[in-house]
Amino acid sequence: MNNVKKKADSTQIQYAALPYRVSAAFGTEVLLVTSRETKRWIIPKGWPNKGKDPWDSAAREAAEEAGVVGKVGQKPIGSYSYEKRLRSGKTVVCEVEVFPLKVKRQRKSWPEKGQREWAWFSPANAAKAVGESELGAIIRHLLKQLVT
């Protein structure tokens, strides 16, 4: 019983942006960044910002981690969970709400430039590149939403 309570207490919320763009040449593309520690492909995400709406926190993460700015949706298009290792060494379960971000431009410089790699992927390749299957499903679903 104690372990169940402890695990429930350790669940944290994060907000993420799913940056995408649509072009005549390449169709829909999704921007992924690498995590700083493990170098896995992920989407920009982070902790809530006090006084900011969830979608604004997500857009801020995209600007800080990938230098992209654009129009962020105010409704999450899905959520997924993952285990995050904190600096203390403790692991917490994070529930991540994902907001779509239609990218207008990428800045020449941003706070975490040089700390992460970034790349544009087709939605199918982005879904394969991310480690979390739930996130892959959200990416595939985004494409269906844009096409319909």
| CATH at 134 | 3.90.79.10
CB atoms within 10 A of CB 123: 22
The conformation of residue 53, written as its DSSP 8-state character, comes to -
Cβ proximity of 48 and 15 under 8 Å: yes
How much of the chain, in percent, has pLDDT values that exceed 70? 90
- Count structural domains, the chain: 1
pTM over 0.85: yes
CA atoms within 13 A on the CB side of 67: 15
pLDDT of 52 higher than 60:
yes
pLDDT of 7 higher than 50:
no
Q: Which domain holds residue 91?
A: 2-147
Q: Return the ∠ at Cα 76 (arms to 35 and 45), rounded to 5°.
A: 15
pLDDT at 146: 66
Residue among 16, 15, 57, 40 at smallest CA distance from 117:
40
pLDDT at 116: 95
Reported as a single tens digit per residue, the pLDDT across 84-132 is 888 888 889 999 999 999 999 999 999 999 999 999 999 999 999 998 9
Token pair for residue 11? 């669940």
| Calpha distance 59→99 (Å, rounded) | 8
